[in-house]
Chain A
């Protein structure tokens, strides 16, 4: 997946002339001098990342091939792929994965569309602009516990949703209707996040291009598709990838809303992983689930980057 690196998420230009261009690499320079500067920029952060994230990550992967005994000093036996074989035969894992997938599919597009919509509406300078920005950002900062409690109210049997729609639905008593409530919460809470990044990206759309399009007689809709969208395309890639990662990693809202009820049917991968790890204390299998999810997310990110790059150059 070399495109992960080659494809850039530049927010301002479609074709970034600087991509991959190195500086100070004169023909006659010593290689070590050439690499010293980038090394000094990258090394401090990467060192911290390696020690505090990467090493624990390697250990988490190792846990998955052991019958891992969590207690300090206890001996864990190597069991190879046993946990992975178990995972492929674990129906509940597949159910959880399908729920995570459904959540991702139904929350990512609305978050992008609505986030971009709000960002566009907030583009015009006005005294109300910062005020609206704060209002739309509020759900992002409000704690999960609080908003989940509130969404439980909204979707309760005698809640506001049933009242407004004139329905008698037990939303949280069934897998599919409960997923509706969980997805609605996810979209609502996530709009402000994508809005923020879109706002930053829209600042970078060259005014000259928009003016040029205006002179060419392009209407607002045309300008949006032919100027704005291409200009923020890399940001689109960044947001989509991050939201897909986040969607498949959905946890807190599901745990607080249903925690899998009824009968485990609304479990997502991470609620299942959390229970396996910290309630059943099966650390080896919990790690296996985490590793499999990470691999899936990694593969999906690679595919998305390829798609976004092809679209951009098409």
Chain B
């Protein structure tokens, strides 16, 4: 919002709320740009502090006349607040958007296509990881730049390996299958995950040599229901039926979560992101996770891109200032400072520095080189629902894997047709 932050204890002055609003244009000597995100969520304020105490002051010092106000919004409700604000024409200038939201908001027409608005867009874009950059693409235009990124790698418990007499995390699908029996004897699940959405299942599908649609995003039938995908999913379903993957994967909220099951050696392997390191350090100080690449299948070792993008809203009255801040987020200062707080850089150029700050990032940075983006369509969240519902039926044995994938592909076809119409 455009209210000055200096009004403390402003209980009574709220009465004059409307009057303050009217008086605002007179106050606006400097340009103030607002920036919504979820940096400070979860009771850990290191990222928000870095932003407010280091980065924004540095930006303001370099750009006299521009003030930046960061507003922290609960992540679970950010999408709701953004859409409602769009309805009222009250969007902020900048948003740190979950990468899945970019096509959604681009479709609504509330974002500035940066590839049109920034003369130096290509120059900035070329420096980022391609899989990460791709999350900003919607119908031929880029609507944002990567802000921070992450991916899922294989995380393994040494204790579980020892219990089953194994020496190393599984590097391939075959090694994974082979280790499952030994782990089962020790009462340990070979792999656990918390769902069957794209974030969960795409690393398997891509590594298995399959995909969900054609590269042009026009058709899912013939891709999602391919023989490779049937084989990949069947492998997981077989492990599930053998009791080697727990029913956490079909959404049993009562099963031990991956973040607890791995350190307690209930699960041998999970896929997870770089943020878990800090959480485990707090909750399981004795646990040392082993990070490795996603097990390779016929398609190699390919994981899924996660993270956030920065976007500029079309309704922003201060577009130039906002774009200037977008450029600032791609700077070494911004990226490296955020690495220190647990965010991964989107620029391979700073990977070295990143590894020096936290060596375990190296596996993630390596995986990111080949990691791919999920479907960049406005109805991507529906795809998650479809995959979850249809694959759950296959895991429960209600339908065959082939039928589940065919049915899911048919529904995704309809979404793609809608998208392209």
B237 CB to nearest A CB, Å = 14
Interface size class of A (residues with CB under 8 A): 20 to 34
Given A262-B392, A263-B392, A72:B89 Cβ within 8 A: yes
CB pair A72 B83 closer than 8 Å? no
CB pair B250 A262 closer than 8 Å? yes
Given A71-B109, A280-B382, A263:B250 Cβ within 8 A: yes
B79 interface residue per 8 A CB criterion: yes
Closest to B255 in A: A157
A121 CB to nearest B CB, Å = 34
Given A170-B252, A173-B252, A264-B389, A281:B83 Cβ within 8 A: yes
CB pair B83 A157 closer than 8 Å? no
B108 interface residue per 8 A CB criterion: yes
Interface size class of B (residues with CB under 8 A): 20 to 34
CB pair B109 A173 closer than 8 Å? no
A155 interface residue per 8 A CB criterion: yes
CB pair A279 B251 closer than 8 Å? no
Closest to B253 in A: A172
The contact of A71 among B79, B86, B379, by CB within 8 Å, is B86
CB pair B388 A73 closer than 8 Å? no
Chain A window 172-192, contacts with chain B (Cβ cutoff 8 Å), 1 for yes, 0 for no: 110000100000000000000
Chain B window 366-392, contacts with chain A (Cβ cutoff 8 Å), 1 for yes, 0 for no: 000000000000110110010011101
A258 interface residue per 8 A CB criterion: yes
Given A72-B88, A73-B89, A278:B252 Cβ within 8 A: no
CB pair A278 B108 closer than 8 Å? no
Chain A window 56-79, contacts with chain B (Cβ cutoff 8 Å), 1 for yes, 0 for no: 000000000000011111100000
Chain A window 274-311, contacts with chain B (Cβ cutoff 8 Å), 1 for yes, 0 for no: 01001111000000000000000000000000000000
Chain B window 143-179, contacts with chain A (Cβ cutoff 8 Å), 1 for yes, 0 for no: 0000000000000000000000000000000000000
Chain B window 56-90, contacts with chain A (Cβ cutoff 8 Å), 1 for yes, 0 for no: 00000000000000000000000110010011110
A-B contact number at CB 8 A: 83
The contact of B254 among A69, A152, A263, by CB within 8 Å, is A152
CB pair B253 A152 closer than 8 Å? yes
Given A278-B83, A279-B381, A281-B83, A261:B253 Cβ within 8 A: yes
Across the interface, which residues of A come within 8 angstroms of B385, CB to CB? 264, 275
B110 interface residue per 8 A CB criterion: yes
The contact of B80 among A71, A74, A173, A278, by CB within 8 Å, is A278
A158 interface residue per 8 A CB criterion: yes
Taking Cβ atoms with an 8 Å cutoff, the residues of B that contact A are 79-80, 83, 86-89, 104, 108-110, 195, 247, 250-256, 315, 378-379, 381-382, 385, 388-390, 392-393
6 A-B contact pairs sorted by A residue (CB < 8 Å) = A71-B110, A155-B254, A173-B247, A262-B252, A279-B381, A281-B108
Other CB < 8 Å A-B pairs besides A155-B254, A262-B252, A280-B381, 14 of them?
Answer: A72-B89, A73-B89, A170-B247, A170-B254, A173-B247, A173-B250, A261-B195, A261-B250, A262-B250, A262-B251, A263-B389, A263-B392, A275-B381, A280-B382
